[in-house]
Structure 1
Amino acid sequence: MSRHLSLAVMAMMGGLALSGCAASIPPVEVTRFHAPGAAVPRTGGIVVEPQPGPRDDSIEYRTFAGAVAQELQRVGFTDETGRQTLRASDYVALIAYDREVRSPLDAGGRSPVSVGVGGATGSYGSGLGVGIGINLSGKPKDVVVTRLSVQIRRRADSQPVWEGRAETSAKVGTPASQAGLSAGKLAAALFKDYPGRSGETITVK
């Protein structure tokens, strides 16, 4: 896999970033893990690869891989993805991502039509009545939930030294729901204040 994003991917990310500048970027929920008391690496050669499974060389994968590689370089690693070197890299960053469209009603949202039971409006002196309320705002828009996870392993013994996961959501059709913008936001949040406090879940706005 090439170390640099193709021109087409870079153009796509640039366009999405520009379209999302004025958009409200949803917060990202982040959790990181590393061994207590152990020194977490900040330097050394590293390559970005997909987690074990079917090989993914899609534009979407390269978008997420490029965002992660950029953040790894920012914290001090040397990106050796795609380089022909005389020795193997010191570390491997295994990434996985997924995007899921979810209806607000799946999370217990209310239907546009609701039926409620009230008092003092019933007949026959029962004191009970049924009122039908119609929500004129229409059905809430579906949301795209995007997740990114990264695990850094030492190449010498394949032992994980750090891992983290990040998640965000945005309404379908908004700039923030597109892969290019969400990939950069998730990667930046995941490596904010790297390595982070192990086991703590934070919200990055």
Structure 2
Amino acid sequence: MTPLARVLLPALAAGTLLSGCATPVGPVEVTRFHLPDTTVLGRGTIRVEPAPGDDGSSIEFRTYAAAVAQELTRLGYSEAVPGGAAGAQVAVLHVERETIAPARRNGPVSVGVGGGTGSYGSGVGLGLGINLSGAPKDQVETRLSLTIRDRASNQSLWEGRARFAVPANAPLAQAPLGAAKMAQALFRGFPGESGETIVVP
């Protein structure tokens, strides 16, 4: 178990328990890019670090970083321990979360008029429709990007982006469960087909 994952494991575990009660939600859209030679990936020591300008000490970032670190170790990496050697590679992580309020297209009441002609005359009908579904729910969209670089040369070896949106009141809108889902989707079939966008349920 990685040091970062060990610290945040209770939160991630709680999120996993919630998944059993969660209603199925929209899939995660994932795109990856990498060099033709992928033999350097999935081995050696690596450290997850925040992208420039990001707050690496925030609970939200640490939650996503722990989920990413857990997936990296599953792929064969060893996580650099705090205070130890930084490692030959670095995983630069950036996370954005945004709440979106969808616009309602139609009013709650609609009126329709229809007419028709048949063998026995013509007629006009008036229809009244009432939308009882209420206003559209707010959505939380999460965008995650990760770049694995060679620390010495700063060369980008692999880049991945993932995004998904769920209702604001859904369990997956919470960071622990959402982080695990996005990290698993990001590394599905690692390193992936360069330039291809996939959809992970």
Shorter-chain TM-score: what band? Answer: 0.7 to 0.9
Question: Which residue identity lines up with residue 108 of structure 2 in the other structure?
Answer: V
Question: Which residue identity lines up with residue 194 of structure 2 in the other structure?
Answer: S
- Residues 1-205 of structure 1: matches in 2 within 5 Å? 3-5=3-5, 7=7, 9-26=8-25, 27-35=27-35, 37-40=36-39, 41-85=41-85, 88-105=86-103, 110-113=105-108, 118-120=113-115, 133-205=129-201
**Residue 19 of structure 1, CA deviation:** 1.9
Partners of 2:71 and 2:29 lie apart in 1 by 17
**Residue 39 of structure 1, CA deviation:** 2.6
Count the aligned residue pairs: 192
- For structure 1, the residue ranges without an aligned partner over 5 or more in a row are 122-126
Partners of 1:5 and 1:164 lie apart in 2 by 20
**Residue 200 of structure 1, CA deviation:** 0.6
**Greater strand fraction, Structure 1 or Structure 2:** 2
- For structure 2, the residue ranges without an aligned partner over 5 or more in a row are 117-122
Q: Percent of pairs identical after alignment?
A: 44
Please give the TM-score of this superposition, normalised by the length of structure 1: 0.83
**SS of residue matched to 1:33:** strand
Please give the TM-score of this superposition, normalised by the length of structure 2: 0.84
Distance 1:113 1:193, change over 3 A: same
Question: Cα RMSD between the aligned structures?
Answer: 2.5
Partners of 1:112 and 1:198 lie apart in 2 by 45
Partners of 2:129 and 2:4 lie apart in 1 by 55
